Every structure is written in structure tokens, then in C-alpha cells.
Structure 1
């Protein structure tokens, strides 16, 4: 069968392309009060929306993309029969699905500070740039597009990016692995494995089930679109540092524990390739698997973070097809760094915002979040959850191999709490034009 030929000129850029490095960005969230005003805003923004083709040969190192919540599309006056055809995860929104996703206790929607579809978030602009100056130029385009428009209001802005350390707030190197999408161009990097069918990430193409991934309404509306499952996660950095210190006396032992929980050393070096000591020269190496080399998790613990969110070939002999649950992850930090060595929280909000690209939110993001992050059954871990980002009301322990005996840690606190989340629809450029013309 021939590989998919993706219509890069019609796909919004953030779906396929990596972010710039260094990275400075912003999420701008808008509320729609009037559909005509919203259509005028989109009409003004459309010439500035970056496609995957533009991203491949950029005129400048900065981009704008646009997304909608379900409530946003409803307020754009899309026909009821089209709205009813969207996946239930998108229609209900993450706040309504919080219990299933593990957003309970401190992570419950009552505590969220990032607006979602049920309390005012209808349109989002995602701005990415290689410098603060370029970011601000793109933000100025958004502000100019708002001039004279009374029926749309800006309700939130969250600046994101890569910290000067090039690591997220817990100190781990981030964004080291992602699937290669069939038809995206180029060749897979070492360790990316067999290309994943484009329909897992973009509507209008064949997916891993051998079906064409589709959306509701006319093809021009949904083809080349996709969904982003966005999460704002606050990180309790001091709590993480204190936990490591309480569990391990020496600095080396603390680093080893941090590596066991993640599955990589904080440099990014995978335990699979260097289980006993860090080797930063291997930080970007992804040429490892688990099925033959480490089936029992003696190098990379079965319950660690990276093994949960990307089991690679570890589930080969099970009923679960890991290729049906692949995600493209776009993560960026927000908030100031907590200075090195500080062991008490300073009251400032810091963490990570992650946008997961998936064409089927139910069997991709929501499956991974509910079954792999917040349940350990699939790796013989019972009710144990992810030691870094998992919920703690089901289990608060972590087991990993150690010499001469395996180690069993109990009393893991919440190192992270959810502070916002939503499934959003990211149309193709033709889909954006259709929204304007259909409802105009």
C-alpha cells in the first residue's frame, strides 16, 4: 500500500512540526459573545495561520495556530447535526470527565485556573517563536485582529517556553521522543521505529485500524484537522526535592531514584542504555526497546513514567496494541524556576503545559491517561500509578529493582496537580474558511 501523501499546506503547523529551540510561546484564550464577531476575528487571523508546509520552509522562526472548544464551535453556530457527530470526549470536555481522567482532590476542576470549554474558553491562539521579540510580534497580530471587535473577549494568557536550563521544573530534559508520522516528510530518526499511520494524528487519512479517520459534517470541514488534548500541570518542585532527599541520603542516590521514577536520568540518558550511571552523551538516543532486552524491568522499572506513556514493544504479546494509543506530545514549561537548592515552595505557579495531538481522543489521550498513567494493571503493577504524575488516591507506592533486593517506596505525595485541561479541535485551513463561509 502506498504511503499517505499529507496535504501539508492545509494542516496547521503544530500537528507535524517540532517547536523551535529555544522556544518562547503563549496560549491566548478567548470567549465568544457574538458569532459574527468571532467569524470576523478568524477572517482577520486566517492569513497569519501557519501551515505544516510553511513550517517546513519558514519565512521566520515564529508561528500562530488556532483551536476551538466544543462550546466555541457551538457558539460559531455550526449545525446541531454536525456538533452531535463529534467524539463524546470533545463534546463533554475534560472538566466533565475529570473523575475518569484522575483529576480528583487537588486536581479537580474546582481548582483549575486555566479556563475550559464549560466556563468561558471558546477560541485559542497558540503562538510559538524562537525569541521573545518574534513571540511578541505574533501576539501583536492577535491584538490587531481584535481591534474594533466587541463580540469576542480575551479571558486568559499563559506564557510558556523552554527554561534557560533546557529542562522542565523537576530538572528532566524534555521532549526527547515522539512517533514518526507516515507522510510527514523526511525519514525516521534512529529509535522512532516504524512510521505510524497518519490517521492516528490527522483526519482524512488511514489509521492503524485500516480505516480513514473522519469527522462530522462535510469533508472540507474536518479533513486535515485533528484534536489537541491540552493539560496545564502545576509542579510541586520543593515537594519533589524533599521526597528525593528523604528517600536517599547522598546526591548520587537521589539522582538514581529520580532516574528510576522517570526511566531516564535527568540529562535524558535512558536507563535502558545506562542503568547504573548517567551518560549525557546518550541523552538524545532512542534506540532501545523492552521486550527482548528488559522484559522484567530490571533496567527500566516496569512502573516508571516513560515505560507507562510509551511502552514501545513491551506489550507485544498482550491483547493491547500500543500503536493504537500513540500520541504526539507538545510540552512547554511555564512559570519561574525555583532556584537550585531551595526546599520550600515560594508560592509561585510553575509547571508544564502539554498539548497531545491525537485524532481519536478516547482511545489515544484518554486511554493513556486513565489506563497507563493512572492504573498499573497492564504492566502487572496492580493499582499503582505513575510515580511522577499519577493520582495518589488509588495507590501511593513505587517498586523498582535494586541490589541486593528490590526497593518498595510508600507514601508518594502528589508531585503534580492539574490546573486546567480541554479537548480542542484544530481544523485544517480549508476547514477554517468553511467555518467562516458556512456560518457567515
Structure 2
């Protein structure tokens, strides 16, 4: 049951009491959590369980102080089928969502070690129906919320947890490679989230939440009926295993001093490990800058079109070109995604050049009405090709699956091609999901048995 009418913020009306908190609420720092994937074996029990889980799903307007831990629920196309959603509604979902990520491997350029045939079960098997994610600001809050959803599911033998992974921020909120992460989130009109210098102009809410005007001026197509589609969004989940030792070894092989290694690492990423961007700290890391949200994203590339400071192929410049002059033009605003990525596994020592066999990496999580289209575009064009930047076959240095004789270009006089770059992240699985509104969760939980 909706708790109230529209909430107006910055002149934009959004149903903040109906949109799942994860869509517009930034995760806490530090953060703790768990991702669980569930298979529905019994349609009626699946609906009943969804009704119970709905009670723990926080809306955007839920005060953080009263809900420092919250649950998010998303559903795959096969999950909608398992719940008995009518064919007339299923037909209104986008084609790529219905096909699923594994079937879209060609469009995503998921080949070689990223091929779905080598994914970790149960990803890509059709057995993933529900995704439950818990985010918390404290370890105690996280454990309590996980115990809560586990107890709710335990009473339904027709549901099976087929995957569960804990995650959490590394010391200093770093990712597996030791980098502070989570910068450059789009500013969503009406979200109420604070904007920081450099975040760019607010983007129409309809790019991220169904039912509102998009950058085109009109709402993008949404699933029907309105109770199912409105205030929902799409989620792309891609689990990467990070090869940290290989990254460290590459730096050691191509730079003779610790300072040179850190500079090369910054050139690959576009930021120093503290989060300080090369664009503002070109010579050395600046932890104070990296920690300052009012400065660490306040930069553009217009005064560095020759890319002497931030290489054209650096990871963050590829993923958000800002005002870079591109060989192939693209509307950057409609390519923006909300990122809720999480880090899993224990950190490897910063100087380790041999892998310890432990699993660690990144759960890349993108949200938005165009999230599936955008990730397929980013993967095929901006990660797996360099044409849009005039870099030919050169691929993203952090996410790209490298071809034979790969290299990374560090511009200069003369430019330096750092050869032997490896694939530092391998895809272990992924899914396309729909994150319903609270109203839609109620609608799904109360589907008639005759369907």
C-alpha cells in the first residue's frame, strides 16, 4: 500500500515512497552486505515469499536513520515466468531483458574467458529467478537483515537459494585493486541526492526510473500494466574475478620504481588509488583531494585533448568521456548509469605478484531504464574497442579481454606503448533483472492463481 502522494524535490515529482531505495540511495561507507540468488520451484510459494520480502524492502524516502540496513529485490525474466506473470505483460518487456545476459554474449562481446559457457553456476542457467541484496552500514545490521530474509525463505520449500555471496568495502573503502571507487554518479532530477561539483547537469528522472520524462522529453516504454512497470527500473549484474597479482606483476614488469609503478597504474585507471583524478593531480597522488567529494570529481578533459595527463584509453575516460573530443560521437547523458557495484573477497597485499588462490573481485551493478542497452553498448564499443576514441583495437585496460599482442598507449613525446597488458578482470557470470516498485511487488505477490 502506498504511503503517500508524490514527493516534490527540485521541481520534479517522483514517487519516492514507491521506488526501491537502492535505485536512488547511495550505499553507505563503509558497507556490508550479501547478494543471494533464488530459484522458484513453486509458483504460489514464490508469490507468498515475495509478499513477505516486500515488508523488508525500503523505499527511497525511508529515513536512513530508521533503516541503516535495507533489502533490495529484483527479478529476472525467467523469474517473472515462474511467478505466473501473464503473457500479455511479459510481452511488454524489452527483448534483450527477456533473452537474458548469457544469450546476449555476442552483443556484449563476452568471448574467450568471458564466454557464458565458462561461467560460475547458476549464472546463465535459467535457474536464477529472484535476486535479494542486503546493504548495511554496520556488520551487526547486515547480519540481522540477512538472518531475517533467510528465516522468511526457510518456510518455503518451493524456493531454493542457489547462490549467496557476501560483500563489503575493503579497508579505506577500496576495491580489490586498492582503488577508492564509486565516483561519477549521475545526478537524477528529483532524487534529493546531493550533487557535488563535477557531477554534471541533472539528468531527467525517466532515464533511471520508469514512468517519467526522459532526456527525449517523453517517458521511455514500460512494462504493462502501470502497476507493474511504473517506478521500476532495470539492473545489470556482472560478477568479475579480479586478477590483482597479475596487475601488480604487470606494473613491476613495466616500471622500475614504486613511484613509476603508481604513476603507470594511475594512467591505466585515470585516478590514483586514493581516488584523486590525474586531471587534477597529474604528478603524484593526493589523498586529501581523493577524500574531498567537493573536489575529486570536479574536472573535465577539455584542456587535455592531447591526453598528456589522462590517457585517452584510461578506464575512467572511456567510461565517462565528459568533454573529450571523440572520433564517434555519442550522447553521453543517455549513456549514464547508476552504479551500485560491490567488492567481495579479502584484499591481496599491495606488493604481491603471485596469486594466493582466494576469490576476490567486483560485482558490477548498473541500474537505469536503459541500463541493459547501455551496458551492451559500453561493453561492445567503449570497453572492447578503441574506435570511438581513435585508438583502433586497443581495449579498456581494466575490463577489456585483451587480444594477441595487446598494448596500452601513454601519450607523450614520443608516445609510449606499454606492451603485454593482460586481462585483469574475468567475467564469472551475470544476469539481467527488473527491479520492481513496491506497488509492483504487491501486484506480483497477489497474482491470481488462475494465471
Please indicate, yes or no, whether the TM-score normalized by the shorter chain is above 0.5: yes
Note the alpha carbon deviations across 1:152-203, whole angstroms, 9 max, x for none: 1111100011012421111111112211100101542111110011111110
Question: Given the alignment, which residue of 234, 239, 244 partners 1:237?
Answer: 244
The aligned residue for residue 215 of structure 1 is: 222
SS in 2 for 1:53: coil
Unaligned ranges ≥5, structure 2: 1-9
Pair 1:353–1:439, CA change in 2 (3 A): farther
The offset of 1:147, in angstroms, is 3.1
The offset of 1:80, in angstroms, is 1.4
How many residues end up aligned between the 2 structures? 436
Query: Is 1:82 aligned to residue 92 of structure 2?
Result: no
Q: CA RMSD in A?
A: 1.7
How is 1:14-33 mapped onto 2 (pairs within 5 angstroms)?
Answer: 14-33=22-41
The offset of 1:339, in angstroms, is 2.4
The aligned residue for residue 206 of structure 1 is: 213
How is 1:89-100 mapped onto 2 (pairs within 5 angstroms)?
Answer: 89-100=96-107
The offset of 1:312, in angstroms, is 1.3
Question: What CA distance in whole angstroms lies between the structure 1 residues aligned with 2:247 and 2:326?
Answer: 33
Contact 1:383 1:395 in 2 (8 A): no
Question: What CA distance in whole angstroms lies between the structure 1 residues aligned with 2:408 and 2:347?
Answer: 27
Question: What CA distance in whole angstroms lies between the structure 1 residues aligned with 2:114 and 2:165?
Answer: 19
Q: Which moved more, 1:313-322 or 1:126-135?
A: 313-322
Contact 1:112 1:418 in 2 (8 A): yes
Question: Given the alignment, which residue of 97, 114, 129 partners 1:107?
Answer: 114
SS in 2 for 1:177: coil
Question: Given the alignment, which residue of 251, 254, 257 partners 1:250?
Answer: 257
How is 1:332-411 mapped onto 2 (pairs within 5 angstroms)?
Answer: 332-393=342-403, 396-402=406-412, 404-411=413-420
Question: What CA distance in whole angstroms lies between the structure 1 residues aligned with 2:345 and 2:328?
Answer: 41
The offset of 1:113, in angstroms, is 1.5
The aligned residue for residue 36 of structure 1 is: 44
How is 1:269-308 mapped onto 2 (pairs within 5 angstroms)?
Answer: 269-283=276-290, 284=293, 285-290=296-301, 292-308=302-318
How is 1:103-142 mapped onto 2 (pairs within 5 angstroms)?
Answer: 103-113=110-120, 115-116=122-123, 118-142=125-149
Give the TM-score normalised by structure 2.
Answer: 0.93
Question: Given the alignment, which residue of 197, 211, 226 partners 1:190?
Answer: 197
Q: Which moved more, 1:344-353 or 1:334-343?
A: 334-343
Pair 1:319–1:238, CA change in 2 (3 A): closer
The offset of 1:313, in angstroms, is 2.1
Query: Is 1:434 aligned to residue 413 of structure 2?
Result: no
The aligned residue for residue 180 of structure 2 is: 173
Question: What CA distance in whole angstroms lies between the structure 2 residues aligned with 1:434 and 1:249?
Answer: 61
The offset of 1:438, in angstroms, is 2.6
Question: What CA distance in whole angstroms lies between the structure 2 residues aligned with 1:418 and 1:262?
Answer: 19
Q: Which moved more, 1:103-112 or 1:370-379?
A: 103-112
Note the alpha carbon deviations across 1:67-119, whole angstroms, 9 max, x for none: 10110001111111221221122111111112321221112112222523534
The aligned residue for residue 159 of structure 1 is: 166
Unaligned ranges ≥5, structure 1: none
Question: What CA distance in whole angstroms lies between the structure 2 residues aligned with 1:186 and 1:382?
Answer: 38
Question: What CA distance in whole angstroms lies between the structure 1 residues aligned with 2:207 and 2:11?
Answer: 14
Note the alpha carbon deviations across 1:390-419, whole angstroms, 9 max, x for none: 1213772111123x4211122211111001
Contact 1:315 1:322 in 2 (8 A): no
Give the TM-score normalised by structure 1.
Answer: 0.95
